[in-house]
Amino acid sequence: RLGGMDQTLMRSLFEGFSGRHGHAIATVKAVLEARGLPAGPVRAPLLPLDAAGRAEVAACLRRLGLEGG
């Protein structure tokens, strides 16, 4: 069961976000990397998030007070 912060993070990242800048797996990996956790690259044929997607992830983490590791 997700806690309140987890639910907020998931809602912020995935309601209308996935697919705009990349696949959901790429989004999760970008979040983990932004938090300082090794996530590794996405496997082909997927692509990592583009610059706009990474910026949106970073902004979301900042809003939630979760920036950095």
Helix (H, G, I), strand (E, B) or coil at 54: helix
Q: Kindly state the average pLDDT of the residues 51-66.
A: 86
pLDDT, tens only, 3-57: 777 777 777 777 655 566 677 889 889 988 988 889 999 999 989 998 988 998 8
pLDDT of residue 48: 92
Per-residue pLDDT at 68: 65
pLDDT on residue 69: 60
CA distance 66 to 41: 22
Q: What is the pTM of this model?
A: 0.74
- The whole-angstrom separation of Cα 54 and Cα 3 is 24
